[in-house]
Amino acid sequence: MSIFNVGVSGLNAAQNGILTTSHNIANASTPGYNRQQIFQTTNQPMFTGAGYLGQGTNVETIRRIYSQQLSEQVLSAQTGSAEMDSYLSQINQISNLMADPDAGLSPAMSDFFKGVQEMAANPASIPARQAALSASESLVARIQSIDQRMTEVRTGVNAMISSEVAAINSYAQQLADINQRIIYAQAAGPNQPPNDLLDQRDQLVADLNKVIRVSTITQNDGTYSVFIGNGQPIVVGTLAYGLAAVAAPDDPERIIVAIKSPNGNTVNMPDSLLTGGTLGGLIAFRNDSLDPVQNALGRIALTLATNFNAQHLLGQDLNGDLGGDYFDLTNAGPAVQANGNNTGTGVIAATVGDIGNLTTSDYRLNYDGTNYTLLRLSDNTSQAYTLGTTVDGINITLSSGTPQAGDSFLIQPTRNGASGLAMAITDPRAIAAAAPIRTGTPLTNTGTASIDAGSVSSTASLPLSGPVTLTYDLTTDTFSATGGITAGPFAYTAGQPISFSGMTVTISGAPADNDTFTIGNNSSGVSDNRNGVLLGSLQTQSTMEGGTATYQSSYSSIVSEIGNKAREVEITGKAQQTLYEQAETTRAQLSGVNLDEEAANLLRYQQAYQAAAKMMGIANTLFDEILALGR
């Protein structure tokens, strides 16, 4: 090869270097761009008697400076950061709502019991009763308002899940298209990487990774196959399968994600497989925070109303009638939804069997054709279940039909507790503040015994058909009941309660033989506050969470847990963001464009270009001299 050709090779190499450097500078701010660099090799030398003479240079290829390991580290931190950001933006909504000193439930519950207690202090006062009724209505409205806000958040999460699924499908299609372009590019230039297309594809993967955690495998033809979950493909070569946002078969108001199969069918994906990115954050928020908090609110509403009703039923109102339900729980009970894929005709019903042991979890009842299994969804604890037994406060029965093997039912014991709560009474006179019985001590008694006002645990025998007389028999040291109810004898121990027919009285002191005490209907209980006091005392009784928490402390636990979770998500998000920034910085140090370095490369290649041009000029002069010798 002549000196001229050697110079041309050097000129071409310098020109390629200048073009590549210029390309780097122009794309210094392009997202996902990896710095490119020319790779030169020497041409095959020529053997002469004086040895091997060099034949110039050749630009073998132009490669991007890229590290698969660093890119994977960036993707891992990036998807974790996006998940926490998505989770935090949602959880802050309900955390702020529950903890709000004005809009939260705490002040409404305090006002409710304050109204009940003030009514108990003035049971004959219609204004006091109306104030108690108004506080009750405000409590119901507040509970419903908080629940409605959570339902709005849930609706918003459904919409965002659908939106994120649409974004995933868009990215999947773009990745399939760019895979096709890469195949064409590599066919046009075998063994030469289409760097810009590869960068564009990696940027699409990064954008997709912000939505959902993905993994990739490079195929033999240079294309990417993209997977989510534990290996579900959404892109294979030039084919995009994508996802679909569909209603859950056992909960139509819950949007879940399904993956599309090659034949066009969809297969529902478990939420546990959808992690990372904004979609993973939305699903984690709904499962780990929104569902438990809304269920916990429903549990408080359902428990408070049930306990209050139970005590109210044992009282007597201003009209002399026995108390009825104070709260209406018709629409607040457990919800049961049959799976849309069930093949049997079985209809399952659920009721509250033990209000104090309700949890905040939902459940799934599965039938295998012979036996039932109850799965607690909050911790995936499964146990064999016999219909009609009470587990975690709920009782499940088969109300009609015949289930088939594989059928399942979603049971939500407390989900409707808040939204379905309503007032059962509107008349302040109907508040049962009085006790339905009254006791008396005849003046003819000769002993020193006395009887208390009495209480009732059941109204099955009330109102009494006539007065009940308790007569003491000194010989047997017992009391017997005659009159409206006949019962006994009851062994007497001073100060110990005597219970029969749903009534309880306590006699203290030393009765004389044939001393009597009477129990009758409370015919003039206008100023009686005995049941009102008991209603007010429910505020401080531990009737929730297996008898370990009051209504207020249970609500405080919810506020604390959701606040702690929000803080945990915030801290985790910041840590993930720091990891992402560090990983991105490390990658940028390798693959990013350094303008100072590129400016130096421009000068270097410019000098090489000038030197090669000078070489070509010398070759031209020598050639002219040779031609001149021939003339």
pTM of the model: 0.89
pLDDT of residue 264: 75
The secondary structure of the chain in percent helix, strand, coil, rounded to multiples of 5, reads: 45, 25, 30
Take residue 125 and report the two structure tokens written for it: 């006062």
Which helix or strand (DSSP H or E) is residue 482 part of? Answer: strand 478-483
Contact present, 567 and 574 (Cβ < 8 Å): no
DSSP annotation string for 520-546: EE-TT-TT--HHHHHHHHGGGS--BTT
Instruction: Write the pLDDT tens digit of every residue in 388-442.
Output: 999 999 999 999 999 999 999 999 999 999 999 999 999 999 999 999 999 999 9
Give the residue ranges of the chain where pLDDT is below 70: 1, 631
Half-sphere exposure (Cβ direction) of 99: Cα atoms closer than 13 Å: 14
Take residue 541 and report the two structure tokens written for it: 């009784």
Distance CA 476, CA 498 (A): 16
Q: How far is CA 269 from CA 244, 246, 272, 274, 532, in A?
A: 10, 10, 8, 8, 53
Strand, helix or coil for residue 367: strand
Look up residue 60 and give its DSSP letter. Answer: E
For residue 245, count other CB atoms closer than 10 A to its CB. 18
Distance CA 279, CA 284 (A): 9
pLDDT of residue 266: 87
Distance CA 420, CA 376 (A): 23
Take residue 329 and report the two structure tokens written for it: 């729980």
Beta bridge partners of 251: 248
158 phi and psi, to 5 degrees?
Answer: -55, -45
Beta strands in 27-92 (DSSP E): 36-42, 46-48, 51-53, 57-64
Strand, helix or coil for residue 146: helix
Whose tokens are 């918003």? That residue is 156
CA dihedral over 134, 135, 138, 144, signed as positive or negative: negative
Contact present, 436 and 459 (Cβ < 8 Å): yes
pLDDT of residue 631: 67
pLDDT of residue 383: 95
pLDDT of residue 445: 95
Distance CA 606, CA 35 (A): 19
Half-sphere exposure (Cβ direction) of 187: Cα atoms closer than 13 Å: 8
Which helix or strand (DSSP H or E) is residue 184 part of? Answer: helix 126-188
